[in-house]
Structure 1
């Protein structure tokens, strides 16, 4: 299963958090505005990154800009 090896994969690219203004979920605890994160996996709508908790989480691309 692909998701079980995400932490050991080479990052695809880096993204920087632009905002944490979520409509439905609170993401300000897991993302820091201005901080850069490595993208582990990417889908059409989401980036999977290692967040502030040290776990891989999926977040909408609208929170980020590519570095």
Structure 2
């Protein structure tokens, strides 16, 4: 399964968090505004990144800008 090897994959690119104002879920615990993260996988709506927990999580692209 693809998601089992994501942590070992080479990052695709870097992104920076521009806000954590989520309408439905709390993301402020896992993302830090102004911090840059490595993108492990990308879909049309989401980035999969190694977040503050040290694990790979999926987040809407609206929280980020490309570096």
Distance 1:49 1:56 in 2: 5
Show structure 1 runs of 5+ residues with no match.
none
Matched residues in 1 for 2:7 and 2:15: separation?
17
Quote the Cα distance in structure 2 between the aligned partners of 1:13 and 1:62.
16
Question: How do 1:25-44 residues align onto structure 2 when only pairs under 5 Å count?
Answer: 25-44=25-44
Matched, 1:11 2:11: yes
Number of positions where the alignment pairs a residue of Structure 1 with one of Structure 2: 67
Task: Kindly state the Cα deviation for residue 10 of structure 1 after the two structures are TM-superposed.
Answer: 0.3
Compute the RMSD of aligned alpha carbons: 0.2
Equivalent in the alignment of 2:62: 62
TM-score of the aligned structures, taking structure 1 as reference length: 0.99
Q: TM-score, normalised by structure 2?
A: 0.99
